[in-house]
Structure 1
């Protein structure tokens, strides 16, 4: 693991520039937040392919749908709260229903938005997007995975929702054998006592928590589920059968997100006890991102504490 920390929203902006060098049919739309979503990086490199749609997110989704119908591949960006929340109806009806080739880059997801507070800390977006038929959902764990996700989103024919964060996080996938495959989870650590299934910035925290538990004689595996939909059913069932206990960890509501998706898979195929760690049916509040992750028990210390108690 490297000490370098990069926010996945930065990875997104940089990946768009690289993608355009290979595929000049992409076009980028933003809703007056290019500096924050980092599509401004693309705007600086390719100004004539970037359009600011203003604070009009629903209209932006409609524009993206129209562009996609002409054969272009639009990447539309704003905060997760506005992409999944404010523009839900347009995403559902104008993009999802006709199954158009639109890629949504939703940044500033989860409580790690920090000081912007509850109104901007979207902990419901995965749940919302999961309900749209045919929508692919990717929640990358670091810079390397975020860049791979952008390429995979382009290569996929159909709507994709990508979730990016504001907080700079460690790079954990800088390994020669790393491979991103849509719909396939990655076993980062084997374990016999239980398996943590994590997504997004919680993957690194889960790895650190597993190390803490190992020092206490608790052997916990860690699985990175970067694609929430379609989810890797085979891998989830496999680790459930191996360990008999599953813990899901996500910077999202425990209702309808990764935890819900994992429970759906296991209840239908391999009934297994599951502990869901995340935001417990409450709103966030303003505060430093790192402090909020600690308060909500989503840092390594919190995960270690909750999982250790659960396994006792």
Structure 2
């Protein structure tokens, strides 16, 4: 079982790249520990800015540094970064089109028992609604590494959400199959299309494998790029199946499921089922307990598909 969280991978990549590129600067809001950024602060203190618990200032300062030619990576808990500093993300980063990468750590229900105040079940909807803001939810450590390296080579704003805990690998170092802004096809099938993002990709893959044992041919897309959405790949598979199931660690309002439903209704109407968090404060528990309660697991995906195909 993998023991390396995606947040640590982000730090590892930035530590190495900052040795060669002195324009890389990392900022955090008193979260270097929870963001796994302490090694960066220790290795590159002159390229690290500690803002304190001030998310709005974090984003504005990052935008200011970017306007001076720096490559700014601002990390903070996703629940606060996507809500407290939405105006700064909208105006200072996106509207001004500055080279700021916003890293939402401990996304979704990662904070578990801390409850709704610390959950980020609306961040896809919030950040995705901002013009010029790209939204990414990498599914494992290998994809996270590829994504961060790719983002270092462009100068556009982006929001990246990762969880708090290590997640089981979806890919391997030898076969990550990463193409920037293009969904990864993890399984082929003609009965149903499963579209997942972030930490839900691994249970979706397990669910698709269980469906195969039942004789159900399910295609699976890892839609790590929520915005820009890879409509070309999605439509290719949509046209070949009878129904669609989306899986996300987010409310069904304004997330992956909403986007898939809109495109499906517009291009090729057919049944769509959204597996997501409800529009209510979720139960108290760790990530697995929350996922199991709301059927955001392999068996829940199997059940949903079987019901949809009846």
Say yes or no: TM over 0.5.
yes
| Aligned twin of 2:178 | 180
**Rounded Cα–Cα distance in structure 2 between residues aligned with 1:233 and 1:212:** 27
Per-residue deviation at 1:22?
3.4
**Rounded Cα–Cα distance in structure 2 between residues aligned with 1:284 and 1:77:** 25
Q: 2:164 aligns with which of 158, 166, 174?
A: 166
Per-residue deviation at 1:5?
4.1
Per-residue deviation at 1:117?
1.7
| Aligned twin of 1:211 | 209
| Aligned twin of 1:118 | 116
Correspondence 1:227 to 2:228: no
Contact 2:192 2:242 in 1 (8 A): yes
Contact 1:113 1:167 in 2 (8 A): no
Q: Secondary structure at the match of 1:29?
A: strand
Do the aligned partners of residues 175 and 43 (structure 1) sit closer, same or farther apart at CA in structure 2, a change above 3 Å counting?
A: closer
TM-score (normalised: structure 2): 0.96
Per-residue deviation at 1:309?
2.0
| Aligned twin of 1:10 | 8
Per-residue deviation at 1:222?
1.0
- Written as runs of structure 1 = structure 2, the 5 A alignment for 1:60-209 is 60-174=58-172, 176-209=174-207
Q: Secondary structure at the match of 1:110?
A: coil
Q: Deviations over 1:238-286 (max 9, x none)?
A: 1110113111111111111111121222222222321111112122243
Per-residue deviation at 1:177?
4.2
| Aligned twin of 2:259 | 261
Shift >3 Å, 4+ stretches: none
Q: 1:302 aligns with which of 289, 296, 300?
A: 300
Per-residue deviation at 1:88?
0.4
| Aligned twin of 1:25 | 23
Do the aligned partners of residues 272 and 5 (structure 1) sit closer, same or farther apart at CA in structure 2, a change above 3 Å counting?
A: farther
TM-score (normalised: structure 1): 0.95
Q: Secondary structure at the match of 1:274?
A: strand
Contact 1:118 1:285 in 2 (8 A): no
Contact 1:124 1:253 in 2 (8 A): yes
Q: Deviations over 1:71-112 (max 9, x none)?
A: 001100101111111110111111111111100011111123
Q: How many residues align?
A: 310
Structure 1, unpaired ranges of 5+: none
Deviates more, 1:120-129 or 1:47-56: 47-56
**Rounded Cα–Cα distance in structure 2 between residues aligned with 1:244 and 1:304:** 15
Deviates more, 1:259-268 or 1:75-84: 259-268
